[in-house]
A and B are shown apart, each in its own frame.
Chain A
Amino acid sequence: MITPAMVLSAILFVVGTFGVLVRRNAIIMFLCIELQLNAVNLAFIALSRIWGIDGQVFVFFVMTVAAAEAAVGLAIIISIFRHYETVNVDNFNLLKW
């Protein structure tokens, strides 16, 4: 049972990573990050069969942090959208030297 779960987790993570790298829509990028997080959660759950309850406990932490991140991140995206009327990250490059 572990191997398919780990394979699925790996596939989800790579998809998420590629999504972050290649997409320009901030919402999509955000969703892809969630995808990565949940891929990791899946790996934790699967591996807890071998390593005990610690992995499952950790998943709750990740979910909590992800919820907080989603709240903050969406708030930022909304305020950016109000300002620029777009969520295309190519337009947001002022924050540099």
Chain B
Amino acid sequence: MHATLSMLLTQGGGHEAGGGGTFEPFFPGLVILLPLLGFVINGVLALQHARASANAVRVGGELELDGPRGRPSTHTLPSWVGPGVVLLAFLLVLVNFLRMLGAELHDPVVVSYWTWMATSTFTVDAALQLDALSMVMALVVTGVSFLIHVFSVGYMKDDPGYPRYFSYLNLFVFFMLLLVMASSYGLMFVGWEGVGLCSYLLIGYWFSDREKADAGKKAFIVNRIGDFGFLVAMFMLFVTFGTLDFAAIAHDAPETLIYGGGLVTAITLFFFLGATGKSAQIPLYIWLPDAMAGPTPVSALIHAATMVTAGVYMVARSSVLFAMSPVGSATVATVGVLTALLAATIALKQNDIKKVLAYSTVSQLGYMFVGVGVGAYAAGIFHLATHAFFKALLFLGSGAVIHAIHEALHHTHSHVDAQDMRNMGGLKQFMPITWVVMWVATLTIAGIWPFAGFFSKDEIIWQIAAFGGAEHAPFPGLYTFIWVLALVTAMLTAFYMTRLMVMTFHGTNRTGPHEARHLHEVSPVMWVPLATLAVLSVFGGWVNVPVAVQESFLGGMGALPMTDWLHHFLEPVTATAHTIHHDNLGELSHHAPWGGGEVAWALISTVVALGIVLASIRVVGGWKVKPAAEDAEPTGFAKVLSNKWYVDEIYDAVVVQPLLRLSRFCWKIVDAGIIDGFVNGVGYLARGFGWFGSLFQTGTVNTYAFILTLGVLVILGAVIF
């Protein structure tokens, strides 16, 4: 163990695969170890706190957080340790990133620490892969995580489980970094499962509430179905390639596999099944809205910015495989756009502020899958990054709102729902900073120029058109369909996000006059991360603007500091996939299905989105929104939407209930009936024989003597005759 640790701490403990430039990794192992260290420290504090509160209960009291001697160290240390380790990890990633920028890196650098498992034919190393993709992901993960950790210091400060919360959060960052920096599917799967575990722990963080514990279970069980797909795909990869290393598979795939063959299609479809579970796509998206039971910063970190994008990352990481399977890629894109549309329609009629954002996340994840499904891997990752910024901002903003309302309700001992937008309204006068940053995020997600979401979403929509119009594009009609649905979804997004803003921040205040007096802006520890994310949401998109857009007036005729850097930076990762696309599909189209080039459609989409936002402000502003307690039940189609298309009910009837019935059959009939019956039958049989034998044991000597004589006679008879 000691040797292992020292190896991790020495710079670049292993060999470098591939002779990439002069890039020298800078303590990559430490990036992963730091959050793990945070987990250990906070975990110890959490256990200390648990013991202290158990002792307090035993002597008949309750542990007061604010006693005469101030907060115990179990509730002050995590505020520094939790965000601290993530900040250090972020800085380390930043150093690596800057070094990579300086070097012309073509082949990924693999830093191998030790052999995790080895059999005669199968070896998995505990190795980290440092390339453009893992660096971008690690930057986003650590950067956004740090801001959310800081926000959590304010949001969770009065929670009794404070150290436990931070230990889970640090553990999550550890597994997430393992996921994005692993150099093989095997090690990636460790991170994949680990983030699922942390997701479960944090959704059910307030586990004494039955509903929240159930939501955690739902997330875990639904994810299991996806993990099954991931595992099967890994088995198939191993049988085909004899290895699970990314670099080896990407290198061998074009020769080993047949373009469009059944094997590669099966592999990609199973991988995508895994992605639908983790990234909440049809048919496995149902766990994500329920996951909002967790604390709001958790929703921002795990269920919006990082973990749920793991599926997109996985598809981008397997870009060579997906590029070789037109059917697999088309499935990814189709499922993505259908999910985007379905979730957007549901979001139209949700009243819980976090539920709206949850469905919005599902919808945006659908966009990312459309991006990677049409071969625009850089665009998918780009949208992943910008989405991490603006969705984290939206969730943290909603967290600030919920926090403020909750505190106000606490003052008046009211028990109305602090997350229901019908109980909000007019908050902008109480929370001006939150109001501004939330509008920034809303304009971003709605795709308004020049915010980040405009560039990333527009890039994806454009790439659908370009891919569908390629010379030998498979299923060209399908891509036109996807393109139209993507545009429709973008418009729905603009509407439901504006509805959220107007219902929450505008109009008259519906919290009640007594509560309104206690409403106030959140503390700086909460709004500073919000402001930082807002800046990123505005300018984050400028790192990947196509040259044509830069030079149009959308880029200020080239005057604004925009660049298509990200695209080039990711080129080493996506190059093989692009070559495969190019060889098989020919040139990509330069105009949309109904004419018009990239710039024209970018302009159209932002004008339409802006129009919808402005119109919805007027329309939603004109609604007479009543507090939740007085509001009537929706009717007609609105009822279908507010009940989420009854998907949960359908799943319950089609999957859950039959499964329960089958389980009950297995339990009552098969197990208790047949198997137990057999085992008990054997017992009864033995007892029956025993009872029969005991009949001869009368205890009377004469009987024994008689039987003995009889036996002797029988044997004698047998001998004689």
Contacts and interface: CB of A to CB of B under 8 A. Distances in A.
Contact of A21 (B697, B698, B699, B702): B702
B709 interface: yes
Contacts of B699: 92-96
Interface in B661-707: 694, 697-702, 705-706
A29 B701 contact: yes
A92 B701 contact: yes
Contacts of B698: 93, 96
B697 A17 contact: no
A57 B430 CA distance: 122
A24 B702 contact: yes
Given A20-B705, A21-B705, A21-B709, A89 B694 contact: no
A92 B700 CA distance: 7
A3 B700 CA distance: 37
Contacts of A96: 694, 697-699
Given A89-B700, A90-B700, A92-B699, A97 B705 contact: no
Contacts of B702: 20-22, 24, 89
A85 to B, nearest CB: 18
Contacts of B706: 21
A58 B377 CA distance: 104
Contacts, number: 31
A20 B707 CA distance: 12
Nearest to B693: A97
Nearest to B690: A97
Given A20-B705, A21-B706, A21-B709, A97 B697 contact: yes
A90 to B, nearest CB: 7
Contacts of B701: 26, 29, 89, 92
Nearest to A93: B699
Nearest to B694: A97
Contacts of A29: 701, 705
Contacts of A26: 701
Contact of A17 (B694, B700, B709): B709
A21 B702 CA distance: 6
B186 to A, nearest CB: 62
A72 to B, nearest CB: 15
Contacts of A22: 702
Contacts of A93: 698-700
Interface in B17-73: none
Contacts of A97: 694, 697
A65 to B, nearest CB: 18
B714 to A, nearest CB: 15
Contacts of A94: 699
A20 B708 CA distance: 11
B127 to A, nearest CB: 70
Nearest to B705: A20
A93 B697 CA distance: 9
User: Counting chain A CB atoms within 10 Å of each CB, which of B694, B698, B699, B706 scores highest?
Assistant: B699
B417 to A, nearest CB: 71
Contacts of B709: 17, 20-21
Interface in A75-97: 89-90, 92-97
A20 B700 CA distance: 12
A90 B699 CA distance: 9
Given A17-B709, A22-B702, 5 more contacts: A20-B702, A20-B705, A93-B699, A96-B694, A96-B699
23 contacts: A20-B705, A20-B709, A21-B705, A21-B706, A22-B702, A24-B702, A29-B701, A29-B705, A89-B700, A89-B701, A89-B702, A90-B700, A92-B699, A92-B701, A93-B698, A93-B699, A94-B699, A95-B699, A96-B694, A96-B697, A96-B698, A97-B694, A97-B697
List of 4 A-B pairs having minimum Cβ-Cβ separation, nearest first? A93-B699, A96-B699, A97-B694, A96-B697
